[in-house]
Amino acid sequence: MSRPFDPTLYLVTDTALARPRPVADVVRAAVAGGVTTVQVRDKTASRRELLELTRTVQAALADRPDVALWVDDAVDVALLAGADGVHVGQDDLPPAEVRALLGPGRLLGFSVSSVAELDVARALPAGTVDLVGIGPVWTTPTKPDAGSALGPGGVRTLADAARAAGFTTVAIGGIDATRAAEVAATGVDGVCVVSAVCTAPDPAAAARALRAEIEGVRV
C-alpha cells in the first residue's frame, strides 16, 4: 500500500522560475507557508542534475516527513533518491510499467485531461495509480503543450469520475490565489501550482494565501 499524503496544496517546482533563488529555498519557504506535497520537475535537467536537485529538495524537507516528495517522470531518479512517488504524463512511461518498477510502497500520479485519458487509469488494476492530475484548468505558459483548457466545469466532471474510481484528485493549470477557491470548489482533493509560488517574491506568503483560499471553501 502506498504511503498516505496530503494533496491540499501541491507544488510543482520550476528551476527557471525560481531563479535566482535555489529551488530548495523556495520549497522550504513554501512548505512553511502551507504547501503539503512537492513534485520536483525540471524538463531541461540531465538525469544526474535532476537527481542532485531531488536530493537537495529532499534535504530541505528533512524535518517535514509529512510532506510527500514526488519526481516528475524519472522513475530511476525517484528510486535512487528514495522519493515518495513519481508523476507521469500521457506521453511518459505507461503507468502499469512504472508501478512494476516502483513496487507497492511508493505513490504514482498520472495526468489526465479527458474522459478517454481517465479511462486509461480506470482500466488498470486497483492500486496502480494513486492520484490523477486534472488539467489544464486554464492555459499556462509553464506547460504550453498541455492541451485545451478544461475550465472549472470540465475539472468538476473529471474529478467526480476520478474520485468515484477511487483516485485522489488535484487540478493544475493557471491557478493562483485569485482562482484557487474556484478550483477547490470543483471538489478536487487538492490544488496544484507552479508559477504562483515559484515566481512569488515571498513563497511562504504565496502559499499561505493559496491555503487560505482553499480552506475557505472547505469550511
Is 106 annotated for ligand binding? no
Is 143 annotated for ligand binding? yes
Cell digits of residue 35: 504547501
Is 54 annotated for ligand binding? no
Measured between alpha carbons, how far is 30 from 100 in angstroms, rounded to an integer?
32
Give the Cβ contact number of residue 48 at 10 Å.
Answer: 9
Is 90 annotated for ligand binding? no
Is 39 annotated for ligand binding? yes
Is 194 annotated for ligand binding? yes
Beta strands 68-72 and 131-134 are unpaired
CA nearest neighbour of 47 among 79, 23, 24, 19: 79
Catalytic residue among 111, 122, 208, 211: 111
111 belongs to the catalytic site: yes
Measured between alpha carbons, how far is 171 from 18 in angstroms, rounded to an integer?
21
Catalytic residue among 41, 99, 106, 122: 41
46 belongs to the catalytic site: no
48 belongs to the catalytic site: no
Catalytic residue among 106, 143, 156, 211: 143
CA nearest neighbour of 109 among 91, 128, 137: 128
Is 43 annotated for ligand binding? yes
Give the active site residues.
41, 111, 143
- Residue ranges for the binding site? 39-43, 72-73, 92, 111, 140-143, 174, 194-195
- Residue ranges for the binding site for Mg(2+)? 73, 92
